[in-house]
């Protein structure tokens, strides 16, 4: 049988060249850094964080290229959503007790729990309201006919409002005047639209918004120590924790201070 050495030699070199080219391509691909696709995280946050977290989300997006979808509501209702299967990448509550309760039910990554601030409660009225309200006892005056608070059944600021009114002994007296809102932001909206005369709301919703407000002494209610954590069902747990750390970082803390939150390690200023 005639054997074509020349042809087989050509085939050998062709195969060797192809193998070398393949190796070069593989090595070249491995040497290039992988391009990270921007992700979108979902953050469920208490309504008192509306303005602060909108600013913080914008800052974080600009720094990382990722996106943040914010879901605001009353802390109790957001916690119930998580219990029913909701999977935000971060949950920021207006009271740490709700995070602790979810943790006890095995729904929170315990190591991600982080105290990020203490909220304050204020008496708030529209700027054109001719009401000189110095303290909570003024709410009993006859010209004050409707008062909005967040629902104490599921909203930490509503619970604090009830505690403060009970502390000075007027909770029962003003029951006929109370209008319950789903969350603290809705309570403020009732006052903004004139549906109520006054609202007890968060300082964080008041400091950079037109309106008249007066701080309620903190000793009248339990502290509104606020905590955040990553739920166990989070789709992007690592990014959720990164955003939480950003909020509590040297870059994020000034924004929280801007909106009136007392940060961990700080003392409350004299009132």
pLDDT per position as a tens digit, 40-83: 999 999 999 999 999 999 999 999 999 999 999 999 999 999 99
pTM over 0.95, yes/no = no
CA distance 114 to 176: 39
216 annotated as ligand-binding: no
Q: Which of 96, 46, 40 is nearest to 69 (CA)?
A: 40
Q: In the CATH scheme, what is the code of domain 40-119+224-258?
A: 3.40.190.10
DSSP string of 237-263?
HHHHHHHHHHHTSTTTHHHHHHTTPBP
Domain ranges of the chain: 40-119+224-258, 121-220
Q: What's the pLDDT at 264?
A: 87
Residue environment code for 189-206, b if the CB has 16+ CB neighbours within 10 A, otherwise e: bbbbeeebbbbbbbbbbb
pLDDT value at position 12? Answer: 44
Tokens of 150: 């967040």
pLDDT of residue 133: 86
Q: Each residue of 191-207: pLDDT tens digit?
A: 999 999 999 999 999 99
Q: Six-digit token pair at 198?
A: 């006054």
Mean of the per-residue pLDDT values of the chain? 89
pLDDT in tens, 217-258: 999 999 999 999 999 999 999 999 999 999 999 999 999 999
User: CATH number of 121-220: 3.30.300.30, 3.90.1150.10, 3.40.190.10, 2.60.40.10?
Assistant: 3.40.190.10
Separation of alpha carbons 141 and 251, rounded Å: 45
- Whether the CB-CB separation of 224 and 108 falls below 8 Å is answered with no
- The pLDDT-based confidence of 10 (bands split at 50, 70, 90) is low
Q: Do domains 40-119+224-258 and 121-220 have the same CATH topology?
A: yes
Q: How far is CA 143 from CA 45, 116, 146, 173, 213, in A?
A: 35, 39, 9, 14, 18
Rg of the chain over Cα atoms, rounded to whole angstroms, equals 28
Query: Any binding-site annotation on 112?
Result: no
The SS3 of residue 218 is helix
pLDDT band at 137 (very low <50, low <70, confident <90, very high): very high
List, edge to edge, every strand of the sheet that includes 114-119.
67-73, 40-46, 90-93, 224-229, 114-119
**Average pLDDT of the residues in 83-98:** 98
pLDDT (0 to 100) of residue 181: 98
Q: Give dist(CA 31, CA 10) in Å, integer.
A: 32
pLDDT at residue number 258? 97
Return d(Cα 240, Cα 92) in angstroms, integer.
11
């Amino acid at each position: 049988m005639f054997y074509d050495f020349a042809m087989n030699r050509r085939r050998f070199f062709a195969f060797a060249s192809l193998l070398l080219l393949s190796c070069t391509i593989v090595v070249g691909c491995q040497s290039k850094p992988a391009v990270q696709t921007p992700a979108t995280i979902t953050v469920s946050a208490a309504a008192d964080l509306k303005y602060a977290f909108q600013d913080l989300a914008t800052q974080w997006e600009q720094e990382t290229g990722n996106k943040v979808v914010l879901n605001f509501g009353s802390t109790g209702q957001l916690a119930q959503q998580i219990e029913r299967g909701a999977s935000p990448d971060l949950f920021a509550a207006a009271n740490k007790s709700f995070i602790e309760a979810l943790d006890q039910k095995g729904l929170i990554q315990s190591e991600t729990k982080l105290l990020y601030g203490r909220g304050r409660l204020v008496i708030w009225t529209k700027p054109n309201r001719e009401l000189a309200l110095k303290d909570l006892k003024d709410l009993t005056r006859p010209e004050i006919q409707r008062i909005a608070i967040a629902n104490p059944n599921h909203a930490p600021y509503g619970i604090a409002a009830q505690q403060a009114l009970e502390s000075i002994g007027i909770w029962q007296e003003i029951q006929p005047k109370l209008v319950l809102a789903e969350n603290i932001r809705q309570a403020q909206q009732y006052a903004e639209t004139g549906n109520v005369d006054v609202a007890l709301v968060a300082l964080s919703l008041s400091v950079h918004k037109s309106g008249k407000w007066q701080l309620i002494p903190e000793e009248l209610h339990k502290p509104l120590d606020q905590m955040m954590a990553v739920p166990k069902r989070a789709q992007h747990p690592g990014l959720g924790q990164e955003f939480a750390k950003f909020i509590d970082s040297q870059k994020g803390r000034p924004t929280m201070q801007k909106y009136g939150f007392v940060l961990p390690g700080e003392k409350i200023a004299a009132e």
